[in-house]
Chains A and B, each alone.
Chain A
Amino acid sequence: MKTILTGDGRTLSITPQTGFFKQNTALAMENKKIFTDAGIIAVDILGSVGAGKTTLAGALVAYLKGQKRLAAIAGDLTTEIDAQRIRAQGAEVLQINTDKGCHLDANMIKNAMDCLNLSNLDIVLIENVGNLICPSGYQLGAHHRMVVISVTEGPYQVVKHPHIFQDVSVVVINKIDLADVMEVDPQKLIADIHTIRPGIPVILTNGRTGQGIAELATALKLDK
């Protein structure tokens, strides 16, 4: 910070220049280091309300639980419903209620990490608040960010929200069973995603049957 007094000595120019997201980003880096040092892979799951984030987190738990020790952190405005749904699949789950917050932030994750026994875990799945806008600005310290879109959101979800894809490592197109009824062509969604992020893995899933879950676990490097 610099403070400059003008020539006539009557006005001051103060230049704080501290980024509003800086503290969160720094804390996210600390979280990531803690996860990494504990040998944990953390995944931040983004997507609209109803896209299938909880269903897919549950499906990943069901698929991996024999070989990996999993926990999940579920973010929602209120209720414990999602935590219970993932817990039912066989993982330890913490619910974070953000009250009115539209996203999780690194500090909430840090607090949640304090409640988990990290030395007993291999994978932590973090379900972010259902929102395709705000969570993007707040890194949590996960190794992967995955965005879940579903065909029920229509054919223009990708072109309407291109920026959510800026730093994700895997994209899921869920509810693939409903593509025909919704008259949504998944290949077109893939082409749109690849325009924004050439070459990024895009996995087609049916969260209810488990179709595509093995492929998703591989894309996130969770099954190694």
Chain B
Amino acid sequence: MHETAIAQSIIDTVMTHADKAGAKHVDKVEIEIGELTFLGIDQIRFWIENQIAGTVAEKAEWIFHSVPGGIRCPACQYEGDIKTAETEDHFRLPVFACPECGQANIEITQGRDAWIKAIHVEID
């Protein structure tokens, strides 16, 4: 459900900007999706492609980039990736703690949002 809402927001944003710029065509849209958002890129792409027939974005190329989760440790100032660990049953799980000093109260700095990085339009 939540992918359809994000897809609609992406379309609305692209159309608003294309309109404001007086675009003839939208060539390319670059979208960044944080890995901690749970958003399925394939589903978003499917919903967008379903909705844009007959618009100036009909032939646009939709490029999705996945943004990995990032954390910051207030104790030792570690800033970087979320590491994973293996459980007894050999499942790999993300670890929301500092990989350097073990601090459990970390801050999530990246990966919880999604945004349009760039809209490339042809105006003439």
Is the CB–CB distance between B37 and A137 below 8 Å? yes
Question: CB-CB contacts of A3-31 with B at 8 A, as 1s and 0s?
Answer: 10000011111111111111001000000
- Closest approach, in angstroms, between the C-beta of B103 and any C-beta of chain A? 9
Rounded to whole angstroms, the CA-CA distance of A165 and B6 in the bound complex is 22
Among A12, A15, A21, A101, chain B packs the most CB atoms within 10 A around the CB of: A12
In chain B, positions 1-41 with a C-beta closer than 8 Å to chain A are 1-2, 6, 9-10, 13, 17, 21, 23, 27, 36-39
- CA A188 to CA B123, docked complex, whole Å: 60
B118 at the interface (CB under 8 A from A): yes
Partner of A11, one of B13, B87, B116, B120: B120
CA distance A112 to B44 in the complex (A): 30
Check A137 against B116 for contact (C-beta < 8 Å).
no
Asked whether A195 is an interface residue with its Cβ less than 8 Å from the other chain, the reply is yes
Q: Does the CB pair A134–B38 fall under 8 Å?
A: yes
Per a CB cutoff under 8 Å, which of B13, B108, B123 touches A16? B13
A189 to chain B, nearest CB (A): 11
Does B113 touch A at the CB level, under 8 Å? yes
Q: Pick the contact of A197 from B6, B88, B104 — CB < 8 Å?
A: B104
Q: How far is the CA of A103 from the CA of B39 in the complex (A)?
A: 14
Give, as a whole number of angstroms, the nearest-CB distance from A91 to chain B.
29
CB-based nearest A residue for B35: A163
Q: Is B93 an interface residue (CB 8 A)?
A: yes
Is there contact, CB below 8 Å, between B112 and A137? yes
Complex CA–CA separation, A196 to B93 (angstroms)? 6
Please judge, given known A-B contacts A12-B121, A102-B1, A159-B89, whether A20 and B6 are in contact too, CB under 8 Å. Answer: yes
Q: Is the C-beta of B115 less than 8 angstroms from some C-beta in chain A? A: yes
The contact of B94 among A10, A14, A163, A188, by CB within 8 Å, is A163
- A88: interface (CB < 8 Å): no
Asked whether, in the complex, the Cβ of A165 is within 8 Å of the Cβ of B88, the reply is no
Name the 5 nearest CB pairs between A and B, nearest first.
A19-B113, A159-B91, A102-B1, A14-B119, A134-B2
What are 14 A-B residue pairs whose CB atoms fall within 8 Å in the complex? A11-B121, A12-B21, A16-B116, A18-B13, A19-B113, A25-B113, A100-B1, A137-B37, A137-B38, A159-B93, A163-B38, A165-B96, A166-B96, A191-B87
Interface residues of chain A, those whose CB is within 8 Å of chain B, are 3, 9-22, 25, 100-103, 133-134, 136-137, 159, 162-163, 165-167, 188, 191-192, 195-200
- Given contact pairs A11-B121, A11-B122, enumerate 19 new A-B contacts (beta carbons under 8 Å): A11-B120, A12-B123, A13-B120, A15-B116, A15-B118, A16-B115, A17-B115, A17-B117, A21-B114, A102-B2, A103-B2, A137-B112, A163-B36, A165-B96, A166-B108, A167-B108, A196-B94, A198-B97, A198-B102
